[in-house]
Amino acid sequence: MFLLPTSPKAERGTLRKNHMAADDTLAASEDLLFEFFDFFDRTVDDVYSYIKHRTRVPEIAEDITLKLYFSLLQRQRFFWWRNATQLPDLFSLADKSIAGVVQWQEAANGNEYMKEIARYMPGENEEEMMERTGLLLRALKRLPLREQKMAVIRFFLRWPAAKTAELFSMKKDIVEKAYEITLHHFIAQLESESSFKELSVENVLKRIHCGTLSESDKAKMRLIILEKFRAAQMSSLRYVMPVAAFLLVATSITGGIGYGTVNPVSAQSGIRTVAAAQVLLLGEKQDVRDTILSAEKKSRALAAAFVEKDLAHISIDLAKPAVKQQVELEQNVYSTIEKLKKESLLSRAFHKALALMVKAE
């Protein structure tokens, strides 16, 4: 058993050797694992924080995070040709798991999460800070789902608009607008609360600086994923291997016995010898065939290479009719439009004159 490094990329060379020595089963999947854990290290803080602030239960967040990454690893193992998963994909997978977290689970956790957030709230005493936290979290829950997600990203994960825009392939100004709307909705809900009366909601939200996973927590997660991955690999082999082994042994024994005891009724030697003679007899023709194929290929390549010079001649020859066609096209379109304009002008003048005459009468 071994602990994966915190930055696999940095120490890839030496660690590869250790891995090989430590566990041969995993050696074949090394590249997959290194790529995966590289991605894990880059993203786990954001993913875990996102799930934690959405579920408000750190234990559940940890479980969902582990399941999410494990399923991602399995997916990469079996569907390696697919595009690599990106952070927004993980968030949307997380959303599905979060939707399954029921209210009682949040309640069963007590107020541990609230206490964590309360630390960043302004207030004279713990009671005041907890009250503000409660109001804030309730306001967050009341936001539409899309805005809840946006609020978590902005105020708890503290992503700048540019980062959100880049990761979610959105325009920066759209993200900024979404941020503004979310804040506005927060303010609308909290400004009427007495404990927020003298406070700027925006400034209060800005005070929240939740910590991320510790290095030892991440190492623990890596290990769990790795163990699970190895167990999954073994479990698939567990079913396939005995069947394969049985088939191999059975066919080898029966085939071997038959091979040794049954007198052959065979013309194989003759068929092979005659075929060899045919190969030799056709040898010369085969040489000619190869030469013809090669000559055809070469002449096509050479013809293509000679095209450049010919095309220069063609460009000159086609220039005159092409220019003529373009000039005529431009003239025809503009003349038609001008003609319409003139006819319209005449028609307008005629109608005006007619109107004046009617008026005069």
Residues 301-340 that bind another protein (CB under 8 A): 301-327, 329-340
Residue at token pair 């995070």: 65
Four-residue CA torsion sign, 138, 143, 149, 155: negative
Nearer residue to another protein within complex by CB, 197 or 320: 320
Task: For residue 84, give the 3-state DSSP assignment.
Answer: coil
Nearer residue to another protein within complex by CB, 304 or 357: 304
The DSSP call for residue 125 is S
CB 169 to another protein: min, Å: 22
Four-residue CA torsion sign, 213, 217, 223, 224: negative
Furthest CA-CA distance within the chain:
128
Nearer residue to another protein within complex by CB, 14 or 286: 286
CB 350 to another protein: min, Å: 10
CB 337 to another protein: min, Å: 6
Residue 345 engages another protein in binding (rule: CB under 8 A)? yes
Q: Give whole-number Cα distances, 117 to 33, 53, 112, 133, 241, in Å.
A: 35, 10, 9, 7, 52
d(CA 266, CA 202): 91
CB 48 to another protein: min, Å: 42
Q: What is the residue-wise DSSP string for 29-44?
A: THHHHHHHHHHHHHHH
| Interface residue with another protein, options 80, 245, 294, 353 (CB under 8 A) | 294
Q: Which of residues 256-285 bind another protein (CB under 8 A)?
A: 258-259, 262, 264-285
Buried b (16+ CB within 10 A) or exposed e, 190-225: beebebbeebebeebbeebebeebeeeebeebbeeb
Extract the tokens encoding 242: 């005995």
Give me the half-sphere count of Cα atoms (radius 13 Å) on the Cβ side of residue 287. Answer: 4
Extract the tokens encoding 26: 């995993």
Residue 247 engages another protein in binding (rule: CB under 8 A)? no
Nearer residue to another protein within complex by CB, 145 or 354: 354
What is the CB neighbour count within 10 angstroms for residue 280?
Answer: 10
Instruction: Annotate each residue in 20-59 with x if it binds another protein (CB under 8 A) or - if it does not, as one string.
Output: ----------------------------------------
CB 290 to another protein: min, Å: 10
Sequence-ordered list of residues with C-beta below 8 angstroms from that of 39, at least 6 positions apart, any chain = 84, 85
CB 264 to another protein: min, Å: 5
Nearer residue to another protein within complex by CB, 236 or 269: 269
Q: Which of residues 95-124 bind another protein (CB under 8 A)?
A: none
Residue 296 engages another protein in binding (rule: CB under 8 A)? yes
Nearer residue to another protein within complex by CB, 18 or 332: 332
Q: Give whole-number Cα distances, 47 to 4, 81, 152, 326, in Å.
A: 20, 24, 11, 59
| Interface residue with another protein, options 351, 353, 355, 356 (CB under 8 A) | 351
CB 206 to another protein: min, Å: 46
Nearer residue to another protein within complex by CB, 31 or 330: 330
CB 249 to another protein: min, Å: 15
The DSSP call for residue 154 is I
Residue 355 engages another protein in binding (rule: CB under 8 A)? no
Nearer residue to another protein within complex by CB, 200 or 344: 344
